[in-house]
Structure 1
Amino acid sequence: MKFTITLPETHLPITIRELLEKEWLVPRKVRHFLRMRKNVWLNGDAAMFHQEVSAGDTLTLILEEEDYTYQEIMLGDKSLVQPLFEDEHLLIVNKPAGMKTHPNQPDETDTLLNHLAAYLFEKEQRPYVIHRLDKETSGAILFAKNPFVLPILGRLLEQKQIGRRYQAVVQGALTKDFTINKKIGRDRHDRRKRVIDEKNGQTAITHVTSHKVVGNQTEIYCVLDTGRTHQIRVHLSSIGHPIIGDPLYQNKSTGRLMLHAAELHLSHPFTQEKISVRALPGLW
């Protein structure tokens, strides 16, 4: 794998060692191999780790495939992939409702990750999971296209530098904006479900914006401060406004789960380009 990256105009001076270790999160073993094999080039010349780089410099890294492990995934159907944004390092796609994000068994072939593996196969690239959406949820979801960018995107997600906005349709009329701050834990009686558990649960914060009331239903938008399993579904159900079509948290569910990852925003980890995508169509 060979990557050539030009540092953006806003980048401050930094040594190659600091760039690889602290900013790009290259694992220690891989950094060692890069240095020993002399596989780092600065503006076309072989570089040493103590050299300083700054805005406009071009850094080339040559990474060996065997330096990274990869769990082989069976190929699915590439025609089912709906790209929203793609470059050498990352891929944002629109996941349909009813499709799992990734397989739980090695022989599965009908998850989004399987279809992405088929989509990237001809490009000699592979998909890596950054986050997931529930099977019933549709919308924008981010994947890495190489193991080099994987930990960087993971850190951006942990530091809440990847913004996501969800659209939902809930039961009942909601006319005001509000925030739900309730801890979420596992349901001891049903391993599929999560429950409000203020004593032993994990902190979960959901900001809700009311958009449109139609009859006894409301279209809302949600932004999360945390990323707990089923967070939006559990929080809305806990206040008596479950998401329409929820098979786990609404007593009488019909049709699809009305939850959609409508928007995804981030700054590109290498170019600092502002990436903003909207997954269409929405729910209404």
Structure 2
Amino acid sequence: MKEKAYKVLALQLGISNKKAKELIDRGLVYAGGKKVLIARGEIDTKTKFKVKETNPVKKIFEDENIIAVDKPAHISSEEIEKESGAKLLHRLDKETSGVLLLVKNEEFRKRAIEEFRKGRVFKEYIAWVQGIVAEETKIDLPILTDKKGHRARSRISYSKGKEALTTITPLEIAAKKTKVKAVIKTGRTHQIRVHLSRIDHPIIGDTYYSGPEYERVMLHAKKIELLGYSFEAPQPKEFEKFI
């Protein structure tokens, strides 16, 4: 007998259907060693689930202008904005961890947005990618983003895309996978994910852009610098113990 996955999970855990669907949508639910991707997909009612816990949001810094937090994977930027009462300055994808900035006053927000617009914000990420990256690589390919409802998908487009520059540097190689540093000059939607996929080194866990399945997208926003501020979030344990 089959039933929608979120309903089976709700019954098994004794929680509401809404909470069960939220857990699946966050990417926290596994069955048979594989992530359950579609909450409304039908599944055997005897399926046994494993639910992964999320890490807490950690505050890095706060003053009269800005709040910097270390965002864990599986929590959206918008959830953190709602909890903090401050406004997001930028966003990280739900499964991307690392430094996330929120602003506390409009004057500072306008100054910071101008820094982003002029490309004067330093942003450094780390990622585990498929294949061996042997040397530093500059990816200068324009990106076009299509948005449908709450979903966005980006692609390389020479005719309609906006300038996007990513510099990739290998840090560690193991088991035909490479940990890389990614520094982005621009900040297009899904920029690092699209660029790495295009050069045949998709990020581990990034099935949306042709990466192999894993428990999360292995992308972490390590460092950001703007307007005299500098914030850093240490890499999560899963990046250190990946291989």
| TM-score, with length taken from structure 2 | 0.70
Distance 1:225 1:251, change over 3 A: closer
Partner of 1:255: 215
The residue correspondences of 1:123-134 to structure 2 (distance < 5 A) are: 127-134=86-93
Partner of 2:23: none
Moved more, 216-225 or 180-189: 180-189
Partner of 2:136: 177
- Whether 2:118 is the aligned partner of 1:159: answer yes
The residue correspondences of 1:178-217 to structure 2 (distance < 5 A) are: 178-186=137-145, 192-217=152-177
| In 1, Cα distance between equivalents of 2:63 and 2:57 | 15
Match of 2:73 among 84, 97, 100: 97
CA drift of 1:281 comes to: 3.3
Distance 1:243 1:151, change over 3 A: same
| In 1, Cα distance between equivalents of 2:199 and 2:148 | 21
| In 1, Cα distance between equivalents of 2:61 and 2:211 | 37
Q: Is the 8 A contact 2:122 2:185 kept in 1?
A: no
Q: Is the 8 A contact 1:81 1:115 kept in 2?
A: no
| TM-score, with length taken from structure 1 | 0.60
| In 2, Cα distance between equivalents of 1:188 and 1:142 | 23
Distance 1:251 1:259, change over 3 A: closer
Query: Residue 115 of structure 1 aligns to a residue in which SS?
Result: helix
More helix by share: 2
Match of 2:206 among 224, 242, 246: 246
CA drift of 1:276 comes to: 2.2
CA drift of 1:278 comes to: 1.6
Partner of 2:60: 84
CA drift of 1:250 comes to: 2.2
Structure 1: gaps (5+ residues): 1-78, 103-110, 118-126, 269-274
Identity of aligned residues (%): 36
- Whether 2:99 is the aligned partner of 1:146: answer no
CA drift of 1:192 comes to: 3.1
Distance 1:206 1:281, change over 3 A: closer
Match of 2:180 among 207, 220, 232: 220
Query: Residue 152 of structure 2 aligns to a residue in which SS?
Result: coil
Partner of 2:83: 115
Structure 2: gaps (5+ residues): 1-54
Match of 1:135 among 85, 88, 94: 94
| In 1, Cα distance between equivalents of 2:72 and 2:108 | 25
| In 1, Cα distance between equivalents of 2:147 and 2:226 | 36
Moved more, 229-238 or 156-165: 156-165
Query: After superposition, what is the alpha-carbon deviation per residue over 1:150-178, rounded to whole angstroms, capped at 9, x for unaligned?
Result: 11111122222321100000000111001
| In 1, Cα distance between equivalents of 2:163 and 2:121 | 19
Query: After superposition, what is the alpha-carbon deviation per residue over 1:113-155, rounded to whole angstroms, capped at 9, x for unaligned?
Result: 12212xxxxxxxxx11211111111100111112231111111
The one-letter code of the counterpart of 1:223 is V
Q: Is the 8 A contact 1:98 1:136 kept in 2?
A: yes
Q: Is the 8 A contact 1:81 1:116 kept in 2?
A: no
| In 2, Cα distance between equivalents of 1:192 and 1:247 | 14
Partner of 1:168: 127
- RMSD over aligned Cα, in angstroms? 2.1
Length, aligned pairs only: 183
Query: Residue 144 of structure 2 aligns to a residue in which SS?
Result: strand
The one-letter code of the counterpart of 2:219 is L
Distance 1:239 1:148, change over 3 A: same
More strand by share: 2
Query: After superposition, what is the alpha-carbon deviation per residue over 1:34-81, rounded to whole angstroms, capped at 9, x for unaligned?
Result: xxxxxxxxxxxxxxxxxxxxxxxxxxxxxxxxxxxxxxxxxxxxx944
| In 1, Cα distance between equivalents of 2:136 and 2:129 | 14
Distance 1:170 1:203, change over 3 A: same
